[in-house]
A and B are shown apart, each in its own frame.
Chain A
Amino acid sequence: MVAKKLQENIKIDAELCTGCGRCSEVCPVNAIEGQQGKAQSVNAAKCVMCGQCVQICSGYDSPFEQYATSRSQRLQERNMPIVNEPLFAAYYHGDFFKVKKRLADKKQFSMVQCAPAVRVSLAEEFGMPLGSLVPGKMVAALKRLGFTRVYDTNFAADLTIMEEGSELVKRITEGGPLPMFTSCCPAWVKFVENEYPELIDHLSSCKSPQQMAGSMFKTYGAAVDGVDAQEVYSVAIMPCTCKKFEADRPEMKSSGFQDVDAVLTTRELAYLIKEASIDFNALPEESFDKPLGMYSGAGTIFGVTGGVMEAAIRTAYELITKEAIENVNITSARGEQGVRKVVLDTGSLKLKTVVVSGLKNVVPVLEEIKRGKTDFHFMEVMTCPAGCISGGGQPKMLLPVDGKRAYENRKASTYQHDEEQRYRKSHENPEIQEIYQKFLGEPLGHRSHKLLHTHYKPSR
């Protein structure tokens, strides 16, 4: 029953859908079904919940038409607060009320994390220019909303690099399934489970940064504040509609409790801020809490396609060569093409990697891997076209032409934020060093294995 509800997170409102079919053009898994000109529906068994259909849909509730469903019914169906914005046919179920209710309890010890891509898009919902970089205002808003600790997914992204980088080196040196696939993107993971179960072993066993942060909140984080794990309410702010599904996966309970209790999209966070009458644009810049809110530039570039690969290379180079990399800017990993090859010469080893953005582009690569025709070591895959900055939970543009502009600006802001950081490599983040000293031991160690790694299972 629970599984059924999760699978149906993305829906199309048949009354608003005109059957134009643009959603099925962007759907990477052909999950949208229906005749041209007739209302479309989402095949939940195929859907990976990326929300690209939600972003492209322009079938809105026209004030000049009459519908059987009232606006308030429609808002209720979507778990949306009372807003006056136009509603579109493709939508996702929100968690606004769930989180609002828990935040109203002032005794609640809440911890929140924010994905790298949220800080470059949230301000758009308050009329600021597309791609405005606002980590400080975002923190200030979260504090005013009543979150006890404002932590960061970027910290967990650094942690992911420590584990995933070590896992890669181990697979190369000791012989493991290669190429290794990144596992940060839950829609990609779901896609492998759905469509390529025979390649599941290629997925890194690392949890995504969201889930690593969640399990750290209810163990290390709880200990830092001297609270019981069961008292911690763990919330994630994500640019993604599939992260809700990931947080609810039954295996994501390694702290002994559900590691991430609720996920809000960027859009839903904006609703919370507006409903609390917080003047976002006038907020001061505030800082993330320590220890789980400190991050390197490598952590923040997880939000763009190629970012995980670039961050991994910055650390893996040092793991392999024991020397610092000359230039941390791996520009060959950045770019627009759906499939990009990045080769890194480490002296003893030519590390061959591939970066894929847009799930449709990965199919030919996976077919090659199945035929044993590939020789590369590591592959990053992001479902959304420009990475998480273009996720299904991000601010929705009214006009298609602004979508492109938004991606460009959010990307530029992400790299700018990387450059601004004191530390550019995950392993140089002092709080990462400390968490290994005080709590985790070593990457791939016993405690890491229990708290930071996971397993996958074929859907069929």
Chain B
Amino acid sequence: MNSFVLGDPKKCIGCRVCEVACAVAHLDTEIKTVGNMNFSLNPRLYLVKSHEITMPVQCRHCEDAPCLKSCPVSAIKKQSNRIVIDETGCIGCKSCMIACPFGAIELIFSHQESVGDGDLLQNEPEVIASKCDLCGGEPACVKACPREALQYVDMVKERTQRRIAAANKMGGFHNEFMVRE
């Protein structure tokens, strides 16, 4: 079963640290300071802020992933416990964006301009689809959140733990119930 990252609107303050951390984690080169950035931050989770709710939304890594099914060039694949976009194969057709019920896919420029020489782009940047890839199992957003409002959900583990907890609770209850009868 696929894992995913889940935000808690009760804890989220909308600071966007998760977005910054996500964008930084997906850079080609290591960049520490804002002054070294020569392009915009391209996160793969998106803060939603309305009157009712504040929390980031990101890919749920659906089991029956509509994005994967919609891709005409098979550039979206299932890889162990996640759904990933093969950036080299993507043609930027936006089918996946239409298919995704979470709005969790964005289009970004594939080539980052090199640091320090803004106008010297070798190739025209390609536009490709981009979404959460779970950072290989340790999502940067989860680590960076100053309010612990993000959780990496491993559904298999979670489900097993919940069943054990439920069994422990129900065990006692069931006995009482049986005795009364």
Binding site for B on A (CB under 8 A): 18-22, 36-37, 58-64, 83-86, 88, 124-127, 130, 267, 270-271, 274, 395-402, 406
Of B30-38, B59-67, B158-166, the segment with at least 4 beta carbons within 8 Å of chain A is B30-38
A59 touches B54 (CB 8 A): no
Cα-based distance from A63 to B130 in the complex (angstroms):
13
**Is B34's CB under 8 angstroms from A18's CB?**
no
Contact B15 A84 (CB under 8 A): no
User: Which residues of the other chain, B, contact A21 by a CB distance below 8 angstroms?
Assistant: 13
- B32 near A267 (CB under 8 angstroms)? no
Contact B115 A84 (CB under 8 A): no
Taking the nearest CB of chain B, how far is it from the CB of A117, in angstroms?
15
How far is A406 from B34 in the complex, measured between Cα atoms in Å? Answer: 13
A264 CB → nearest B CB, Å: 13
Contact of B32 among A61, A64, A130, A270 (CB under 8 A): A130
* A85→B34 contact, CB < 8 A: yes
What are the residues of chain B within 8 A of A36 when measuring CB–CB? 13
Q: Is B17 an interface residue (CB 8 A)?
A: yes
Q: How far is the CA of A362 from the CA of B123 in the complex (A)?
A: 55
Contact indicator B21/A399 (Cβ below 8 Å): yes
Interface presence of B146 (CB below 8 A)? yes
Q: A398-B24, A399-B24 are in contact. Are A18 and B16 (CB under 8 A)?
A: yes
Q: Which residues of A contact B20 (CB under 8 A)?
A: 58, 60, 86, 398-399
A-B contact sample (16 more), CB < 8 A, given A270-B35, A397-B33: A20-B16, A58-B15, A62-B47, A64-B106, A84-B38, A84-B113, A84-B118, A86-B37, A124-B32, A125-B35, A127-B31, A127-B115, A399-B20, A399-B144, A401-B144, A402-B32
B41 within 8 A of A: yes
Complex interface: chain B residues within 8 A of A62 (CB): 16, 19, 40-41, 43, 46-47
Alpha-carbon distance between A83 and B13 when the two chains are bound, in angstroms: 29
Q: Mark B107-135, 1 if CB is under 8 A from A, else 0.
A: 01000010110100000000000000000
A396 CB contacts on chain B under 8 angstroms: 33-35
Q: Is B42 an interface residue (CB 8 A)?
A: yes
Using a CB–CB distance below 8 Å, which chain B residues touch chain A?
Answer: 13-17, 19-21, 24, 31-43, 46-47, 49, 54, 106, 108, 113, 115-116, 118, 144, 146
Query: Which B residues are in CB contact (< 8 Å) with A86?
Result: 20, 34, 37, 40-41
Contacts A/B (CB < 8 Å), 20 sampled: A18-B14, A18-B47, A19-B14, A22-B15, A60-B16, A62-B16, A62-B41, A62-B46, A63-B42, A83-B38, A84-B38, A84-B113, A125-B35, A126-B36, A395-B34, A396-B34, A397-B34, A398-B31, A398-B32, A406-B32
Beta-carbon contact of A63 and B144 below 8 Å: no
**The one of B19, B35, B54 that contacts A395, using a Cβ cutoff of 8 Å:** B35
Q: How far is the CB of A425 from chain B (nearest CB, A)?
A: 34
With a CB–CB cut-off of 8 A, which chain A residues contact B36? Answer: 85, 124-127
Contact A58/B42 with A85-B34, A398-B37 known, Cβ cut-off 8 Å? no
CB pair A37–B14 under 8 Å, yes or no, is: yes
Main secondary structure of the interface of A (DSSP, over half): loop
A234 CA to B19 CA, complexed, in Å = 41
Residues of chain A lying within 8 A (CB to CB) of residue B31: 127, 398
How many angstroms from the CA of A126 to the CA of B116 in the assembled complex? 8
Contact A84 B33 (CB under 8 A): no
In chain A, what residue has the closest Cβ to B43? A62
Query: A58 vs B13: C-alpha distance in the bound complex, in angstroms?
Result: 12
Compute how far the CA of A267 lies from the CA of B33 in the bound complex, rounded to whole angstroms.
Answer: 10
Q: Is the CB of A85 within 8 A of B15?
A: no
Task: Find chain B residues with CB under 8 A from A60 CB.
Answer: 16, 19-20, 41
Q: How far is the CA of A124 from the CA of B37 in the complex (A)?
A: 12
Q: Which of B24, B32, B43, B49 has the most CB of A within 10 A?
A: B32
Min C-beta distance of A54 to chain B, whole Å:
10
Q: Which of A18, A271, A400 contacts B146 (CB 8 A)?
A: A400
Chain B residues with Cβ below 8 Å from A37 are 14, 49, 54
User: Quick one: closest B residue to A86, CB to CB?
Assistant: B41
State the CA gap A22–B20 with chains docked (Å). 15
Chain A residue at minimal CB-CB distance from B31: A398
Measured between beta carbons, the chain A residues less than 8 angstroms from B54 are 18, 37
